[in-house]
Chain A
Amino acid sequence: MNSLLSISALSVRFPLGRSSYSLLPWQADRYLYALSNLSLDIDAGETVGLIGQSGSGKSTLGRTIMGLESAYSGSVKLQGLELMGLSEKNYRSVRRKLAMIFQDPVASLSPRKTVGQLVAEPFCIHKSEYKNLQQEAVRLLKLVGLDENFLSAYPHQLSGGQARRVGIARALALDPAIIIADEPTAGLDVSVQGEIINLMNRLQEELNIAYLFITHNLSVARHVCDRLAILYAGSLVELGPTDKVLRAPAHPYTELLLRSMPHADPMEKREDMHLNQEEMSYGEPHACVFYQSCTYSSNLCRDEIPAYWAAGPGHASKCHFPLGQSVE
């Protein structure tokens, strides 16, 4: 399988405990496992949605792929090239193919630089063949639907939607093959959400860009993503084509998420799920991550990490008792 981005058995952990004011390195005895044993493939030109709540590790995955966090174990391959363990220098050339759009659009732009400087910056960083930077900046702004006048604006002068577009323009500068979009519609009004989504879709069609669409908003993901990957407490609990996952979820957590999605008729009330994701996974997980909150759990779930069970072609769920499985 020739995937564009291939993540396998990725684990990321953060050390816990206080560090002392000393010149010596210290060893942590407790770790917070933000991601455990995660595997995911993304093909060229497709949009994979990474759905999870806050604390599930979805932003950590995006940042690990971009090299902003280091992984404890596992591998991330971009077009066959292994990214984990790559030196900072070599990573820089990889970053031409990999771009990220951040959650807070205004905060992700350097406050003392103008939009023109920010959009042209990727070219300066990578010292690409000396193009006319001004022209390139204008071309990129037009691509995202912004006027030339924005070249001299500062980030704090932009609205959320405009800043989001500038972020997209920067990401597009070096013709990336894949863009990691961290909550691209968060904080946007419903009336302008559609514009950004449409823009991203159009760019995908024109430039064959793949997206890793990180969000907790299933309503939006439903329309944008080809496949959905559901993340809970650092583990991928379900992965499959969007309509299959939404119509016939195989994992109890997915079922729970679907029930908390706003209905088409706003007057219909959602049921309250008593979901408690307050306890983070300290230490390497030895059981199903969803064990404590699952309504179908049993002792097996507490003792063993479940294996992936195939619910259909390209549709897998990490559960001992997946939904829809006939009882043997």
Chain B
Amino acid sequence: MLANNLDIEGLSISFSNEGEELMALRQVSLSVPRHSIVGIVGESGCGKSTLISSIFRLPMENAIIKCGRIHVNGTDVLTLDEEEMNRLRGKEIAMIFQDPFTALNPVLTIGSQLIDIQYRQAISRKEKKQNVIAALQQVGIDRASDRFNQYPHQFSGGMLQRICIAMALLVKPTLLVADEPTTALDATTELQILALIREFHRSTGASVLLVSHHLSVIAELCDRVVVMYAGEIVEEGLSQDVFGAPLHPYTNLLMQCDPARIKEKARHLPSIPGTVSRVVKTSTECIFVHRCPQAVSRCSELVPETYSVEGRTVKCHLISNE
């Protein structure tokens, strides 16, 4: 039995854009062990969309896969052709998208879409419909048999996201990737969706790769956490370690910026000055050096190694000094 549902080793992807090469992902390595929930924390520009698209081999214009391997249940998806990849998608790996409003076909009823997603299973249409009703009830949609014939625009964002989770339930994947599933939803709905994902994980035993830029969402749900910045993984480890005692300056700053963490009412909220840089050529400095408050001279001269500390990994020069 394989230990990991997902194994990414040394993945580097660049985009060729009108003469220059944008290095979107550089030497990214992460694993999702079986029956676990792993979270990726990353803000805009960190490369998480590229990462997810590459796991599913979704078409990306101008993308060049420079090196690396992506093993899904033991198979390297980078070596598969489109037909083989298609057999994997929607069977072993499934995805929940950020915007529930555009994730479903607006001109088909949700019932027909949910029946359609079971096309690989050789059961009768009646059985498929029963599965659909059961799945809808499981995700908490009342009067499922009535709502079966409704269209996506008749549902709210939270309900649509539940329907997407129901789709995943019907497909029974071994790995579920959730790309910012609650970003478009309110706080109370967010809780419900997270609870659903947790329930999904528990009932099907699938592993979950959750991507979000909200720390609280990741902390609620994930066993392990990976922090990404500008195409690199800067810190990785168990949730309680990374959030409890962050080692990388970026993680630290992220925690400080979260308004929920600031106990006293403050007129002036902290932020990280500067913008995420786009890496266009191989550099000899740490990716975070321009915004890091703890940068030393070594940080602009040498790319830091990834150091292992007590079951975590951190990509920072400051660690090696200890």
Contact = CB atoms under 8 A, between A and B. Distances in A.
Report A-B touching, CB under 8 Å. yes
Interface of A: 53-55, 159-160, 187, 189-195, 197-198, 201, 216-220, 222-223, 242-243, 256-257, 260-267, 269-275, 277-278
Interface of A is mostly: loop
A223 B262 contact: yes
B260 A261 contact: yes
B301 to A, nearest CB: 25
Contact of B215 (A193, A266, A272): A266
Contact of B191 (A160, A189, A216, A260): A260
B213 interface: yes
Interface of B: 43-44, 156-157, 159, 183, 185-192, 195, 213-216, 218-220, 239-240, 243-244, 253-255, 257-263, 265-273, 275
Q: Most chain-B Cβ atoms within 10 A of its Cβ — which of A190, A256, A270? A: A190
A266 B191 contact: no
Given A160-B44, A273-B188, A267 B219 contact: yes
A55 B186 CA distance: 10
B157 A201 contact: no
Contacts of A271: 191
B259 A219 contact: yes
B43 A191 contact: yes
Contact of A260 (B187, B239, B244): B187
B186 A190 contact: no
Contact of B43 (A55, A189, A266): A189
Given A222-B265, A269-B220, A272-B192, A262 B271 contact: no
Most chain B beta-carbon contacts within 10 A, residue among A223, A243, A264, A274: A223
Given A54-B186, A275-B188, A191 B263 contact: no
Contacts, number: 122
Contacts of B239: 267
Contacts of A197: 269
Given A223-B266, A267-B240, A189 B192 contact: no
Contacts of B215: 190, 266
A269 B191 CA distance: 10
A223 B188 contact: no
Contacts of A277: 156
A264 B264 CA distance: 11
A216 B216 CA distance: 16
Contact of B265 (A189, A193, A243): A243
Contact of A194 (B44, B192, B240, B269): B269
A223 B259 contact: yes
27 contacts: A53-B187, A53-B189, A54-B185, A55-B156, A187-B183, A189-B213, A194-B270, A201-B267, A201-B268, A216-B187, A217-B187, A217-B259, A223-B267, A257-B187, A260-B188, A261-B187, A266-B215, A266-B216, A266-B218, A266-B220, A266-B255, A267-B244, A269-B220, A270-B220, A273-B192, A275-B188, A275-B192
Contacts of B189: 53, 275
A217 B186 CA distance: 8
Given A191-B257, A223-B266, A198 B271 contact: yes
Contacts of B191: 260, 270-273
Nearest to B42: A189
A267 B243 contact: yes
A190 B185 CA distance: 16
Contact of B216 (A189, A198, A257, A263): A263
B159 A222 contact: no
A231 to B, nearest CB: 12
A260 B255 CA distance: 19
Contacts of B266: 223
Contacts of B273: 195
